Each structure stands twice: as C-alpha cells, then as structure tokens.
C-alpha cells in the first residue's frame, strides 16, 4: 500500500467508525435489554432459593478424607446445600443427599431488600400489635429456620422439607420440562461452596441425558456452572420457572467443567406431590423383565428383527401375565410410542403413575396384538428403613451398635429373614464392651441373648444390662441367611 492509499484510509476512518457505531447501536441496546432482563429475573427468583444446613450421622471411613472403606463407626456429619420454596405453606424441594441421615435441618432464607424493608416498616408501625412486631423482628434476626423433613426419595435423590414462617414466602413455579429444548438459556441458582445466593448462566446442553445404562431417569444437562453447594437449587428458564433441580456434575477437577445435571421438573413435581400427600413415593411396575434385542440374540432365537425389546420374564402373578403377555413376546410400542431398546421401555414405564393403564403393542410369532396393563406398586427399596434411624434412640451402648427393630410394618421391605422378629445391626456407634469371634457385623440380625428372645431394643438392652461381669454372652444371630451362635466376652 502506498502513502496515498494510507492517507485516504485515515481520512475515511472517522466516517467508518461512526457508521459502525450506528450499525452496532441496536445491538448494544439489545444487549442492555438482555442484561436488564437477566438482572430482573435473578431478583425475582433468588428470594425463593434457600440454603439448607443439616446435621446428622454417617458411617465413618478409614481415612481422614472420607473416601476410604466404610469402617461402620457412626460419626457426626454436617452438610449444606440449596433448596427452592415451591408453595406458600413453606414446602421446600432439595436433594436427598443434602439431608440424608439428618437429625436436624435448618433453612436460611435470602430475604430480598424489599422484604426486609417491608418487615421493618411493619415492626415500626405504631398500629401494629406487639405480637406482630415481635414476629417481624424475630424473622429478620433469625437467619436460620427449623425445617421438618416431610419425606425423601433416595432413588431419584429428592427430599421435601417444610418450614413455618410468620410472613408470606416467595414461591417458584414448577414448569413443564417436556417443553424444554436444547439450546435454551437457563440459570442455575444456589449456594456453591457456601457462597449464599449465587446465580450462573448457561444453556441446555441436552434435554434427556442418561448417565448409567441401568438408570431409567433422564437428566437435563447444562453448561451453567454448578459446584458443590448448588445441589438442590433450581435450574430456571427465561420465565423464571423451575425446569429442574441441580443435582450433580461430572468433573475431573472436582469443580464445574460445564457438565452439570438437573432432575427434570416433571419428575420433581411427581415426587413432590406424592411425598406431600403420602410421605413417600410410589413406584410402578407391570411384572415384566425386558432385554434389548441384539443381532446375536435375534440370530440365536430366530427372530424376524434384530432390534427392539423382548420379554425375558413375566411374573406369573403380575398384571402383564393377566393381560396375556408371555416370555418371548416382542414389545414394539408403549403408549403408541415405538420402543427401540430396553432402556427406552424402562424410561417410558418409569413415567407412569400407579393405577394408570399402559398400552403395549407386541408381536408373538407372526401375530401382532395389543395389551392394556394396569401399573401396580413396585416392591419398596429394602434399605429405605435406614433413613428412619435415630442414633440416640437406636443405640445399644454396651454392644457399640445402632439397631433397628423388625416390626410388622418394616418386615415387608426387608430382605427375607429367618424369623419375623429381631434386631438388625444397622451401624456401629463406638467401641463395644464385648469382644470375641470378631463381634457383630453390619447386617447381622440378633434373635436372642442367652436363649432369651429379643424382639425390641428395650429387651436387648435389658438382657445385656442384666449380665454380670463373669456371665457369658451368647447371642443367636442370622448372618448371610444362616443362623449361628455368637459368643462374646468382656
């Protein structure tokens, strides 16, 4: 380029800059509008996002980091996470792992400046009652409110809490996660690493991400930064409605790497409504076991197709058998949706509520037929009773254990035991006064002490307390499905 060309370019530079500025003015205004919208959205949402603190007990590990092999010793545990208020009555949704084994749960509300100002004004109002002023002052001073655990769902990792507040609570609405689309803007709220009332922005990376092959739950994947402490907080859309509950991340560093996952709001709403109504979650089944059809399976069984789902087993007493389904039938559709593999079949069934009728399309040989099957309740998680343990009430000090009584209500959800009574060793609570033969182990069931049957914790404590220092201690226990006598000594 010669000097003449350079001078011409310099002469035209102001005009070029002015033209570019004029062209970019609408874009700048759009950016300011977007920023203002996100600011307003954050302001409206953050008041309903809470910090959850729980104190409880857990099994210790054989190293200080907690990452080693469980020792069976019960240790005190403090944890924190996030939650979201979803009803004016004070119901809060969070993750189960935030409050698991909690003995005490407290919630901190991020009161907005407007709420604080309004409450301060009410407290200063000369016409307000003394009781009302006192309630307002206490509310503003109380950074933590006691919360009750209404119910938990370990399988989906959700919990419902309830708080009482003398003043109206901010509430967020659960959206329809089926309408969520890849690429939509979302905001993640919570308390990452204990930093109260934080927000991060991202997009929906995937609307249906399966993490494990055997997991029927599909998660929302997002690149909105999520860190420890965000668990239980809401993932919201551009309308400020909850589309998911932030639950976990995949990370090589331990911090956010843009791969976070949230439980879809439709699943959250189903769990929330069931826990609020019944205190627990009902899971459905139709009494079948399915497998994906592979080319090898199709060749070996001489099937006409090398894809889809085959019934490998049908419970003879279940609703599927009553609807004429048999092992070897090929399922083609569930509720008119084609199913390509066992994963999709399980996902479609997982969404069904109890007593709903699922429409199955199937093939048997060359015949195509349909079946209408009522969804029944699935057998409960046999280890769910562990969430109900209260260490203070369940501790047997002299044996150094935490035990659980087998009751008629508890027996149906436990693995089969040889007798309809007894005490299950759920954990070790410290050093035992007795040794010998390796001592009691987790999962042992205690049936008697020196031939005296024990069907309650009180009976077990009494039988041990009555022993003199020189008396033998012989317990009949069940271990691994076999009965044995365990000899202990001081």
Helix (H, G, I), strand (E, B) or coil at 157: coil
Told to judge if 231 belongs to the known catalytic residues of this protein, a careful annotator would answer yes
Catalytic residue among 157, 237, 329, 444: 157
Rounded Cα gap, residues 161 and 148, in angstroms? 5
- Which of 42, 97, 198, 429 is catalytic? The answer is 97
pLDDT recorded at residue 377: 81
How far is it, in rounded angstroms, from Cα 479 to Cα 82?
40
pLDDT digits (tens, 9 = 90+) for 15-42: 554 455 556 667 778 888 888 888 889 8
**What are the two backbone dihedrals, phi and then psi, of residue 22, each rounded to the nearest 5 degrees?**
-65, -40
| 84, 233 Cβ separation under 8 angstroms | yes
The DSSP-derived string for 54-65 is: EEEEEEEESSTT
Alpha-carbon dihedral angle through residues 295, 296, 298, 301, given to the nearest 10 degrees = 170
Whether the per-residue pLDDT at 5 is higher than 90: the answer is no
Domain locations in the chain as residue ranges: 47-283, 284-377, 384-488
* Mean pLDDT score across all residues of the chain: 82
409-425 pLDDT, tens digit per residue, is 777 666 678 898 999 98
Instruction: Name the CATH superfamily housing domain 384-488.
Output: PDZ domain (2.30.42.10)
- Cα angle at 245 between 229 and 98, to 5 degrees? 40
Q: Give the CA distances from residue 316 to residues 286, 321, 354, in Å, rounded to whole numbers and listed in that order.
A: 11, 6, 20
Catalytic residue among 42, 79, 198, 231: 231
pLDDT tens profile 53-104: 998 766 555 554 455 555 556 667 788 999 999 999 999 999 999 998 788 8
Do 47-283 and 384-488 agree at the fold level? no
Q: What values do phi and psi take at 127, rounded to 5?
A: -90, -10
Q: What is the CATH number of domain 47-283?
A: 2.40.10.120
In the numeric block, the tokens 């349909």 are attached to 370
pLDDT of residue 29: 82
DSSP state of 33: H
Tokens read off for 71: 């020792």
Q: Under CATH, to which class is 284-377 assigned?
A: mainly beta
DSSP secondary structure string for all residues of 342-403: HHHHHHHHHTPPTT-EEEEEEEETTEEEEEEEE-EEPPPPTTGGGGG--HHHHEEGGGTEEE
Helix (H) or strand (E) holding 46: helix 3-46
Distance of CA 148 to the CA centre of its chain: 17
Answer yes or no: is pLDDT of 229 > 60: yes
Residue partners of 192: CB distance under 8 A and separation at least 6: 198, 225, 226, 227, 228, 229, 230
What pTM does this model have? 0.68
pLDDT at 119: 58
Cα–Cα distance for residue pair 251/246, rounded to 1 Å: 15
User: What confidence score (pLDDT) does residue 127 get?
Assistant: 59
Phi, psi of 350 (to 5 degrees): -60, -30
Q: Residue 167, CB half-sphere, CA atoms under 13 Å: how many?
A: 22
pLDDT of 411 reads: 72
Mean pLDDT lowest among 56-70, 166-180, 216-230, 420-434: 56-70
- Residue of 276, 183, 193, 191 whose CA lies nearest to 221: 183
Tokens 């302001």 identify what position?
43
DSSP assignments along 459-486, one per residue: HHHHHHHT--TTS-EEEEEEETTEEEEE
């Amino acid at each position: 380029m010669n000097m003449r060309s350079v001078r011409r370019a310099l002469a035209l530079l102001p005009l070029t800059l002015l033209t570019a500025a004029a062209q970019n003015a609408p874009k700048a205004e759009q950016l300011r509008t977007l920023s203002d919208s996100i600011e307003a959205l954050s302001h409206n949402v953050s008041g309903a996002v809470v910090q959850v603190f729980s104190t409880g007990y857990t099994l210790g590990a054989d190293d200080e980091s907690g990452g080693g092999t469980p020792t069976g010793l019960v240790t005190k545990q403090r944890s924190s996470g996030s939650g979201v208020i979803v009803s004016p009555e004070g119901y809060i949704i969070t993750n189960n792992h935030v409050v698991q084994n909690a003995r005490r749960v407290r919630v901190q509300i991020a009161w907005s400046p407007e709420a604080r100002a309004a409450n301060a004004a009410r407290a200063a109002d000369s016409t307000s009652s003394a009781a009302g002023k006192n309630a307002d002052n206490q509310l503003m001073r109380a950074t933590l409110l006691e919360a009750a655990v209404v119910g938990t769902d370990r399988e989906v990792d959700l919990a419902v809490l309830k708080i009482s507040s003398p003043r109206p609570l901010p509430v967020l609405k659960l959206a329809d996660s089926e309408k969520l689309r890849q690429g939509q803007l979302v905001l993640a709220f919570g308390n990452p690493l204990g930093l109260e009332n934080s927000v991060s922005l991202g997009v929906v990376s995937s609307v249906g991400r399966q993490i494990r092959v055997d997991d029927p739950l599909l998660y929302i994947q997002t690149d909105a930064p999520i860190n420890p402490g965000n668990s239980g907080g809401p993932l919201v859309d551009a309308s400020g409605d909850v589309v998911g509950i932030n639950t976990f991340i995949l990370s090589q560093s331990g911090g956010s790497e843009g791969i976070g996952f949230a439980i879809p709001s439709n699943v959250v709403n189903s769990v929330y409504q069931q826990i609020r109504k019944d205190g627990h979650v009902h899971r459905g089944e139709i009494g079948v076991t399915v497998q994906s059809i592979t080319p090898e399976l199709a060749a070996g069984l001489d099937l006409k197709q090398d894809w889809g789902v085959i019934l490998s087993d049908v419970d003879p007493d279940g609703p599927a058998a009553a609807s004429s389904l048999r092992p070897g039938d090929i399922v083609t559709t569930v509720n008119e949706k084609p199913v390509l593999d066992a994963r999709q079949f399980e996902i479609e069934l997982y969404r069904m509520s109890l007593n709903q009728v699922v429409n199955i399309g199937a093939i048997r040989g060359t015949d195509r037929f349909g079946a209408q099957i009522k969804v029944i309740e699935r057998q409960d998680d046999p280890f769910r009773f562990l969430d109900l343990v209260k260490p203070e009430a369940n501790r047997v000090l002299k044996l150094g254990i935490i035990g659980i009584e087998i009751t008629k209500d508890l027996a149906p959800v436990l693995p089969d035991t040889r007798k309809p009574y007894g005490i299950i060793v759920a954990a070790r609570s410290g050093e035992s006064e007795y040794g010998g033969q390796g001592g009691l182990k987790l999962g042992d069931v205690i049936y008697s002490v020196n031939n005296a049957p024990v069907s309650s914790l009180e009976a077990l404590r009494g039988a041990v307390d009555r022993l003199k220092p020189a008396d033998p201690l012989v317990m009949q226990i069940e271990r691994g499905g076999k009965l044995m006598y365990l000899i202990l000594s001081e």
